[in-house]
């Protein structure tokens, strides 16, 4: 893969993640029963990076998105919450993705990320408040995390199946990485069966 193309792709993913984060900050909380809970639409960019780039490059997408979105209207506290949630979610999704397409779907990987993002934020909140009672909010946030993770997973899955550029990057990464190859072949087989 051309190095310049890869850098442009990483930059575009990070920029899209920043735009989605800023848009999400401007809309009211969608879950009235869970104050502070959000859909986490920017996680879609993380999933696309995980399934189309090597880990070191997908990691770049995550931290670039966090830092730039913090500079464009965040505070130190929002950075701490976002950082803990994003990286716990990222490493959790890596672990679940390693189970392979025979054991878990892309939507399952995304739902895991949604739950762990909320867990990371609650850990920071309980540390700041110096009280473990904040973790009692976890069941409510876990429910919203699963719901939003499924929605984001469906959207990411749709993009991976219909956007040619994303398919090209996944195919090129599949040539170098055995796990990405397994995911790519699972998607290709599914599409092939639908055509028959």
Q: What is the pLDDT of residue 155?
A: 93
Measured distance CA(154)–CA(107) in Å, rounded: 6
For residue 165, give the CATH number of its domain: 1.10.1760.20
Q: Which domain holds residue 89?
A: 3-178
Q: What is the pLDDT of residues 7-21, one digit of tens each?
A: 999 999 999 999 998
Q: How many domains does the chain have?
A: 1
Asked if residue 188 is part of any domain, the answer here is no
Asked if residue 166 is part of any domain, the answer here is yes
Q: What is the pLDDT of residues 130-174, one digit of tens each?
A: 877 778 878 888 888 888 899 999 999 999 888 988 988 988 888
Distances (CA, A) of 170 to 11, 106, 115, 158, 163: 16, 14, 25, 14, 11
Asked if residue 93 is part of any domain, the answer here is yes
**What pTM was computed for the model?**
0.85
Asked if residue 49 is part of any domain, the answer here is yes
């Amino acid at each position: 893969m051309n190095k310049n193309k890869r850098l442009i792709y990483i930059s575009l993913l990070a920029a899209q993640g920043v735009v989605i984060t800023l848009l999400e900050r401007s809309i009211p909380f969608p879950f009235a029963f869970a104050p502070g809970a959000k859909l986490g639409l920017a996680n879609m960019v993380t999933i696309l990076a995980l399934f189309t780039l090597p880990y070191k490059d997908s990691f770049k997408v995550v931290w670039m998105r966090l830092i730039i979105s913090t500079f464009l209207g965040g505070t130190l506290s929002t950075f701490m919450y976002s950082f803990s949630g994003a990286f716990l979610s990222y490493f959790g999704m890596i672990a679940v993705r390693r189970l392979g397409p025979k054991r878990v779907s892309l939507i399952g990987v995304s739902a895991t990320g949604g739950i762990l993002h909320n867990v990371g934020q609650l850990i920071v909140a309980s540390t700041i408040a110096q009280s473990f009672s904040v973790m009692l909010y976890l069941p409510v946030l876990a429910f919203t995390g699963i719901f939003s993770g499924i929605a984001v997973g469906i959207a990411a899955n749709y993009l991976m199946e219909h956007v040619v550029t994303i398919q090209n990057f996944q195919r090129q990464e599949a040539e170098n990485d055995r796990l990405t190859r397994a995911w790519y072949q699972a998607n290709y087989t599914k599409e092939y069966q639908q055509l028959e």
